[in-house]
């Protein structure tokens, strides 16, 4: 974990309530795909945990949905604003388990961390498929970015207004070697039931600190009590207690 004062270099709306924030100024950035940052916002006591969408050079990209007071405040940030950010939080995805043909499956604002993962997997020469699920066409973001990086991208919308009508489980590729997922819990549980291959699931839980001190975000797993923020947010499919 590192505490940094970063500078906003852009903060733009991708949809009506999803924003892309670029921050510069991390020295010696050492962020793995699937890790997150914890952002101090003005007027709110606790920080806001946000997944890392990309980390390149000294520029950190976060894609966040305005969900409450903290992210609403973030959406007003102007270029040049200084932000107090804790970085390098959480375990991140294990890339060594990918195999030759991993599939990345994201739903809504669960999609951003998979972008950085896709880039890193492509650097390793993998054949990367992505399945991106949205509610409706107007909520889409980052489709083109994924198409530039991945070998195959499939978009689903729940209302059928774009791509395949249905959910990510309706568009899974044949025989992937490993799955990497992030999205709402009902989506993840559906994947848990329908995926035959190994999987790594990034979970979300309401956090206090984001770095393992408060025990606010604990879950029970097959290997005992785990903190989503410190022992996760990425958990292996076989470790989750989601059978029922």
Partner 1 sequence: MGRLSVELCGIELDNPVIPASGTFGFGYEFAELYDINCLGTFSFKGTTKDPRFGNPTPRIAECSMGMLNAVGLQNPGVEAVINEELPKLKPVFHKPVMANISGFSVDDYVYTAKKLDAEDQVGWLEINISCPNVHGGGMSFGTDPDAAYEVIHAVRQVTKKPLIAKLSPNVTDITAIAKACENAGADAVSLINTLLGMRIDLKTKKPVLANTTGGLSGPAVFPVAVRMVYQVHKAVSIPVIGMGGVSSAQDVIEMMMAGATAVEIGAANLVDPFACPKIIEELPAVMDRCGIENLTDIIGIA
How far from the centroid of its chain's Cα atoms is residue 56's Cα?
16
> What are the structure tokens assigned to 140, written together?
């889409």
**Which region, judged by CB under 8 A, interacts with partner 1, from 51-59, 118-126, 127-135, 205-213?**
205-213
Report the distance separating Cα 66 and Cα 147, nearest Å. Answer: 25
Q: Is position 86 an interface residue for partner 1 (rule: CB under 8 A)?
A: yes
Q: Is position 73 an interface residue for partner 1 (rule: CB under 8 A)?
A: no
> What are the structure tokens assigned to 73, written together?
């405040």
Q: Is position 27 an interface residue for partner 1 (rule: CB under 8 A)?
A: no
Residues 6+ apart with CB under 8 A from 142: 14, 53, 63, 111, 112, 115, 132
CB of 236 to partner 1, least distance (A): 20
**Which region, judged by CB under 8 A, interacts with partner 1, from 19-27, 140-148, 171-179, 210-218?**
210-218
Sole binder of partner 1 in the list 27, 45, 80, 125 (CB under 8 A): 45
In terms of CB distance, is 91 or 129 closer to partner 1? 91
In terms of CB distance, is 198 or 204 closer to partner 1? 204
CB of 228 to partner 1, least distance (A): 9
Q: Is position 103 an interface residue for partner 1 (rule: CB under 8 A)?
A: no
Radius of gyration of the chain from its Cα atoms, rounded to whole angstroms: 17
Q: Is position 218 an interface residue for partner 1 (rule: CB under 8 A)?
A: yes
Sole binder of partner 1 in the list 94, 205, 236, 239 (CB under 8 A): 205
In terms of CB distance, is 41 or 127 closer to partner 1? 41
Report the distance separating Cα 189 and Cα 240, nearest Å. Answer: 10
Q: Do 167 and 135 form a contact (C-beta atoms < 8 A)?
A: no
Residue whose entry in the numeric block shows the structure tokens 């770095």: 211
Q: How many residues bind partner 1 (CB under 8 A)?
A: 25
Report the distance separating Cα 80 and Cα 203, nearest Å. Answer: 32
Sole binder of partner 1 in the list 59, 72, 97, 219 (CB under 8 A): 219
**Which region, judged by CB under 8 A, interacts with partner 1, from 23-31, 54-62, 182-190, 217-225?**
217-225
Nearest to 242 by CA among 196, 197, 186, 202: 186
Q: Is position 10 an interface residue for partner 1 (rule: CB under 8 A)?
A: no
Direct distance between the N- and C-terminal alpha carbons of the chain, in angstroms, rounded to an integer: 35
| Positive or negative torsion for Cα 40, 42, 46, 48 | negative
CB of 47 to partner 1, least distance (A): 7
- Find the DSSP H helices in 77-173: 112-123, 143-149
Q: Kindly list the residues in this chain that would bind partner 1 in the complex (CB under 8 A).
A: 1, 3, 40, 44-47, 86, 205-209, 211-220, 225, 230
């Amino acid at each position: 974990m590192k505490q940094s004062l970063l500078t906003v270099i852009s903060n733009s709306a991708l949809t009506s309530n999803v924003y892309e924030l670029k921050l510069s100024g991390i020295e010696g950035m050492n962020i793995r795909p699937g890790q997150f940052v914890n952002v101090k916002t003005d007027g709110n006591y606790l920080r806001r945990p946000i997944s890392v969408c990309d980390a390149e050079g000294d520029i950190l990209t976060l894609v966040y949905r305005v969900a409450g007071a903290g992210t609403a405040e973030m959406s007003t940030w102007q270029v040049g604003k200084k932000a107090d950010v804790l970085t390098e939080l959480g375990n991140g995805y294990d890339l060594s388990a990918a195999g030759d043909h991993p599939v990345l499956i994201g739903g809504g604002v669960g999609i951003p961390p998979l972008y950085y993962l896709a880039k890193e997997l492509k650097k390793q020469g993998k054949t990367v498929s992505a399945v991106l699920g949205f509610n409706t066409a107007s909520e889409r973001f980052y489709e083109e970015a994924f198409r530039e990086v991945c070998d195959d991208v499939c978009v689903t919308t729940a209302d059928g207004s774009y791509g395949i009508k249905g959910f990510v489980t309706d568009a899974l590729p044949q025989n992937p070697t490993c799955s990497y997922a992030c999205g709402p819990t009902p989506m993840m549980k559906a994947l848990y039931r329908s995926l035959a291959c190994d999987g790594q699931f990034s979970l979300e839980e309401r956090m206090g600190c984001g770095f393992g001190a408060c025990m606010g975000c604990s879950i029970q797993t097959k290997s005992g009590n785990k903190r989503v923020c410190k022992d996760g947010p990425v958990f292996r499919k076989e470790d989750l207690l989601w059978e029922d």
